[in-house]
Structure 1
């Protein structure tokens, strides 16, 4: 294995590496306590549910020309200078890169986050669009791009009518999406695009929906809640591990949360223990006010026809 000389030197001097990291963290902390303090306080209020229009520090970032540049520049100048001297230092913000898209999360509080976003040059119109709960406010710091704004006019269980408008955005332009019926797609970037994003998720997020743009058909649904997403992944893992001992817990969870996560609980419970799962399915089907009663009743009938032995063992819990 070849180890770069710079890496070898740094590896052999952990005290120097630590000193570099402390310097970068110090630049971040000084910025957060100084230039960024008003924005940080406003973001905390926004994350707790305050209206965006009432928070001057956040509003100015988007509406006042040059305000966002000064805000970001106050952190980036000393940070990049320090990285130029110590290029192997780790920038002390959450960051990620995927293809032509990069993010740097500058701060987060509650349901709100402030993120620096970069798109490298690309030209790839999207075939579909996702709609999720929450609000989005963005200001372009540099570059230019063709952006499509989409609004749901009408949707049902299988399709949606979507209104689309495309515009060219350049430095100082702003973009806004409010609620689960709006979204935006960056379709073509000319050179490089840098934006500052202020985003907030809803307190009780609705499920996200992915629609094809050519005919409006529904492609995918997913929970809009991080907690429910974690729960869904945990249930799927238990199912793949064949943990039958988890079936009683899954049966109980079938009565908690959104319709989506409850249905997933039923599915995983049925896969692990058909008896316990069928009993839970019968309980859901028996609730006239339960939004899952009808699909649960239909599935119960299908399973009872295919596997009549389920009715025999569950005669008391689920009379056919």
Structure 2
């Protein structure tokens, strides 16, 4: 196996690794400490706590489509690229992710607000299939094109019917200095074609209690997938799924307890995982949910209980035992 000499040097010299990282961190910290950036960050903290953007003039100016965002970002880009020229194997000290045609650099996160730099690249050469669905998330987003251009489709849910939706879409080409606003979970965008490369600055803010994210089929409007809009609830879902796949039956009482509080989405998911992990505990909790007329999930739980009893009559004994208790 061939190992590049620069990699060998880094592996054998921890001081060199430290110097590389310190150089990149200094570039980031200088940018954050500069007066224009510090003012925006102070307002971002207020915005992340629920303040209106109209009361955050420095932050709002970045998304007014006046070109101020480019000058605001230039010192950061210059500082990081200069450090990377000296230390090409250094790690940019900002959270980032890269996928096919899309790169995201998270500049900062304050409370419920996040400021990110988004880079779209032309993927026409990859022969990627046209998207067949669109996802709507309960996040308010403001975006401004820093450089480049792209053709978009802007979507809106004009009729929400639960399991289906009527979608409206408008084509739009955006260029540098153009600003976009997506005020809530009924608006979304799809990038159809990027003309070379497009860079956007994005400001996003989630509500205190976000609604579930939903994915719809573009052709039929059918609901394809629903997931929690709350990051903590998503973590709980992952933990429940992991414990379920591990066969941890001792977690079933915890799942049953989770069915009593939280969002309807998380409670229903806890019920499904509890049933799969321990039928007796899960079915007893399902019966309790079905019998509670004040529960928003009462009707759904009652219907599921009846379906399970019709398919598995032996569950009637567990139901009777629960009632006697």
When normalised by structure 2's length, the TM-score is 0.95
Aligned to 2:83: 82
Of stretches 279-288 and 210-219 in structure 1, the one that deviates more from structure 2 is 210-219
Aligned to 1:162: 167
Aligned to 1:309: 314
1:151 deviation in Å?
0.8
1:196 equivalent in alignment to 2:201? yes
Q: Is the 8 A contact 1:122 1:190 kept in 2?
A: no
Structure 1 gap segments, 5+ residues each: none
**Could you tell me how far apart the structure 1 residues matched to 2:183 and 2:41 are?**
22
5 Å matches for 1:93-172?
Answer: 93-123=94-124, 125-172=130-177
Aligned to 1:13: 13
Aligned to 1:242: 247
**Could you tell me how far apart the structure 2 residues matched to 1:251 and 1:127 are?**
37
Secondary structure of 1:36 counterpart: helix
**Could you tell me how far apart the structure 2 residues matched to 1:210 and 1:54 are?**
33
**Could you tell me how far apart the structure 2 residues matched to 1:39 and 1:246 are?**
45
Aligned to 1:183: 188
Aligned to 1:67: 68
Aligned to 1:40: 41
Structure 2 gap segments, 5+ residues each: none
Instruction: Give structure 1 regions of 4+ aligned residues with deviation exceeding 6 angstroms.
Output: none
Q: Is the 8 A contact 2:284 2:318 kept in 1?
A: no
Aligned to 1:226: 231
Aligned to 2:55: 54
Describe the superposition over 1:249-286 as per-residue Cα deviations: whole angstroms up to 9, x where unpaired. 11111111111111111111111111111110011001
1:15 deviation in Å?
0.6
**Could you tell me how far apart the structure 2 residues matched to 1:54 and 1:184 are?**
27
Q: Is the 8 A contact 1:93 1:104 kept in 2?
A: yes
**Could you tell me how far apart the structure 1 residues matched to 2:267 and 2:248 are?**
18
5 Å matches for 1:16-35?
Answer: 16-34=16-34, 35=36
1:168 deviation in Å?
0.6
Describe the superposition over 1:80-107 as per-residue Cα deviations: whole angstroms up to 9, x where unpaired. 1111111111111001101110011111
Q: Is the 8 A contact 1:253 1:262 kept in 2?
A: yes
1:287 deviation in Å?
1.2
Describe the superposition over 1:183-219 as per-residue Cα deviations: whole angstroms up to 9, x where unpaired. 1111110100111101111110001111111221111
Of stretches 226-235 and 296-305 in structure 1, the one that deviates more from structure 2 is 296-305
Query: Are residues 91 and 261 of structure 1, via their aligned partners in 2, closer, same or farther at CA, if it must alter by over 3 Å?
Result: same
Describe the superposition over 1:285-307 as per-residue Cα deviations: whole angstroms up to 9, x where unpaired. 01112121111101111222233
**Could you tell me how far apart the structure 2 residues matched to 1:216 and 1:70 are?**
42
- Aligned residue among 298, 303, 316 for 2:303: 298
1:52 deviation in Å?
1.7
1:181 deviation in Å?
0.8
Describe the superposition over 1:121-140 as per-residue Cα deviations: whole angstroms up to 9, x where unpaired. 13464321111101100110
**Could you tell me how far apart the structure 2 residues matched to 1:173 and 1:75 are?**
22
Aligned to 1:260: 265
**Could you tell me how far apart the structure 1 residues matched to 2:175 and 2:106 are?**
22
